[in-house]
Structure 1
Amino acid sequence: MSLRSLVAAFLVPMALLTACGGGATGQSFDDDALVVYSGRNQNLVGPLLEKLKTATGLDVQVRYGDSAELAAQIMEEGDRTRADLFFSQDAGALGALSKHGMLRPLPQDLLGKVDARFRAADGTWVGVSGRSRVIVYDPRTVSAPPKSVFELTDPKWKGKIGWAPTNASFQAFVTAMRLLDGEDKARRWLEAMKANGTQSYPNNVEILNAVDAGTLRLGLINHYYWYEKVAERGQNGVPSRLAYLPGGDPGALVNVAGVGVLKKAQHADAALKAATYLLGTDAQQYFATTTKEYPLIAGVAPERGLPKLDTLNGPKIDLGRLDSLEQTLKLLQDVGLV
């Protein structure tokens, strides 16, 4: 089953997938505008895309949505798409578009700004910010957090762990586990976690809040939610702490948000200009200081307190292979989690 068909079945109303241009949502775009399909939340990156308008002088118009849904829509729209630039929350959706021949190669001077781990092997997309999967834990009740996600099935954690099976970042992590450890081991882990009473939440924020409230002892989240909360409340106002997993554990996956220029973009030069801006110092500092993610270019440091990106022990995996979301969603459905 293709990404498009599975997303259609599980995530996207058929009206969205059969639309072209802006018709499905009532959103239309000016002919001379650079159109960005953004799988990143408007509250998170809206101010940055406004900065992009000012810095580049471009008329930028944005459609926001889930990354997988937007990738599916672009595939459905095909040559008719109005998307010039796809700004994805994760590498998997970019990999899916690349596999379907929807993205054009980016110039080497742009690709060269980012470590090879965080860009497509064929040069069709490039990461612009990074995030690490972590275990958030309550030090008031947990003196030694687990050192692997595979330890979370221990009965001592029964009913005390939170996860978000419908969240895109969690699904990317499960995809990585499938690729690294095999389908059978990933299935057994999911089934064991479910049998161990793991609590489902809609998103990372609610998991973090539950750990801080003492409702949970452990949770599976992305690192930056904790740092954002600390920035708002101070470290004394956030009881939880983070555990970065060692040894290439799938629970230490370092994923990226990234961009690709559509092969059929009406304004390809403008889209490339926008991609270049997102890998410039101004945008990279925005990711570091505002969203608390990892900047990916040399010379821009992450937020104070974050481990350096090159010290993280994430698994060695081609992020483009995270495009096999359809198998992950089928697995999660079979286990009864979505």
Structure 2
Amino acid sequence: MRRKSMTRYSFFICLAAGLACTSQPQEEMAPKAAEKAAEVTAKKPVFTIYSGRSATLVEPLLQEWAAAEGVELKLRFNKNTEALANRLVTEGQRSEADLFFAQTAGYLTTLGDRGQLRTLPDGILNQVPETARGPKKHWVATSGRLRVLVYSPERVKAEDLPKRLEDLSQPQYKGRIGWAPGNASLQAHVSALQSLWGAEKTKTWLAAMKAQNPARYPKNSPQVKAVDLGEIDMGWVNHYYLHKIKAKNPALKAANHSFQAGDAGNVMMLAGVGIPKSSDQVEKAEKLIAFLLSQKGQEYFTQKAYEYPVVKGVSLHPDVKMPEGIADNSQAALNDVAASLKMLRELGID
């Protein structure tokens, strides 16, 4: 078994294993020893994935690949991709991770720069556009999530919707907006704004937004429901929450709105994967990445998760629309969450 089966970390649940003495004759022990050896031989190889994506979303797809490949998955989920990335760095060459699946691909750029990820082959990288792969070939995107404005078509006319994200701070929207400043997606978007607008303009806009008396929510989905219930007219969310909730409640009275082409409101957040240098199962990891980028893998993300594909020729879900143009931000720009949190705290909206 490889090194990771011999290493124990304090944060794992460990089993104390020992050999018990017995008075049984040697000839009675031999068959049992043979049985144990056979069991060990029959065990599937273990492939370990560190995932910042939720188990509900990606585990069915990962298990489908594992069954076809004949491996047993060891999955470590943590929605806080930054914490998971820090863990990989701390473990270094001792890490058991064979694949790192990031909710926000920018963290993969950081891991690559810190020497934690292998360079991916061109055969994988060339399946996606340059904007969906690492600048130094350390990662490739698997799907995208778009930041949008969810709104009530009953209470907000299409012509009255803001054309730019910054317009949300205008007087006509006061008391009508919801947001989730404690949510990672909003914090990542604030990081993107600092990259696109600069820190000063971002801070000024956030202060103006605070003055709008926005309703505060813990995350994205409650905002979609709040729009339907009439609590707010608009919410600042990820696009797919509307579609997931509407699939369960077709009568939902809410719709998504994207801003004008290239606006800072149209931030696309990519999820992606990279292969840790500590892995000795590189071939299997590359096979899994190829599966995630295959027609089957991409259609899983688009049709079941309502996300955007990264491979050309894969259709969007019929209910999901592509904006006229997305914001021109790097994925690495989404990483500077510490600066965003500091700014939010200084403004009293953390």
What interval of TM-score do these two structures reach, taking the shorter chain for normalisation? 0.7 to 0.9
Distance 1:53 1:312, change over 3 A: farther
Aligned to 2:342: 330
Tell me by how many angstroms 1:269 deviates: 2.1
> 1:95 touches 1:322 (CA, 8 Å); kept in 2?
no
Tell me by how many angstroms 1:155 deviates: 2.5
Aligned to 2:231: 215
State the Cα RMSD in Å: 2.0
Aligned to 1:261: 275
Match of 2:219 among 190, 203, 225: 203
Aligned to 1:45: 58
- TM-score, normalization by structure 2: 0.84
Counterparts of 1:274-285 in structure 2, within 5 Å, are: 274-285=288-299
- Are residues 1:248 and 2:235 paired? no
Q: Take 1:59 and 1:134, find their aligned partners in 2: how far apart are those partners?
A: 38
> 1:132 touches 1:254 (CA, 8 Å); kept in 2?
yes
Q: Which has the larger radius of gyration?
A: 2
Q: How far does the alpha carbon of each residue in 1:304-333 deviate from its partner, in whole angstroms, 9 at most, with x for none?
A: 13224xx54111122133332222222223
Aligned to 2:317: 303
Aligned to 2:40: none
Q: Take 1:47 and 1:130, find their aligned partners in 2: how far apart are those partners?
A: 19
Q: Take 1:21 and 1:91, find their aligned partners in 2: how far apart are those partners?
A: 29
Q: How far does the alpha carbon of each residue in 1:280-302 deviate from its partner, in whole angstroms, 9 at most, with x for none?
A: 11111111111010121123211
> 1:125 touches 1:259 (CA, 8 Å); kept in 2?
yes
Aligned to 1:61: 74
Aligned to 1:146: 162
Aligned to 2:24: none
Share of identical aligned residues, percent?
A: 35
Q: Take 1:95 and 1:333, find their aligned partners in 2: how far apart are those partners?
A: 27
> 1:95 touches 1:321 (CA, 8 Å); kept in 2?
no
Distance 1:55 1:32, change over 3 A: closer
Aligned to 1:239: 253
Match of 1:24 among 11, 25, 39: 11
> 1:245 touches 1:251 (CA, 8 Å); kept in 2?
yes
How many residues align structurally?
A: 314
- Are residues 1:128 and 2:142 paired? yes
Q: How far does the alpha carbon of each residue in 1:212-263 deviate from its partner, in whole angstroms, 9 at most, with x for none?
A: 11101111111111112222222xx111111111131221001211101112
Aligned to 2:23: none
Aligned to 2:28: none
Q: Take 1:22 and 1:244, find their aligned partners in 2: how far apart are those partners?
A: 46
Match of 1:182 among 195, 198, 203: 198
Aligned to 1:79: 93
SS in 2 for 1:60: strand
Distance 1:307 1:74, change over 3 A: same
> 1:94 touches 1:323 (CA, 8 Å); kept in 2?
no
Distance 1:32 1:222, change over 3 A: same
- TM-score, normalization by structure 1: 0.87
Match of 2:184 among 159, 164, 168: 168
SS in 2 for 1:203: coil
> 2:262 touches 2:328 (CA, 8 Å); kept in 1?
yes
User: Which deviates more from structure 2 when the two are superposed, residues 215-224 or residues 93-102?
Assistant: 93-102
Q: Take 1:166 and 1:80, find their aligned partners in 2: how far apart are those partners?
A: 33
Q: Which amino acid aligns with 1:152?
A: L
Q: Which runs of 5+ in 2 are unaligned?
A: 1-6, 16-42
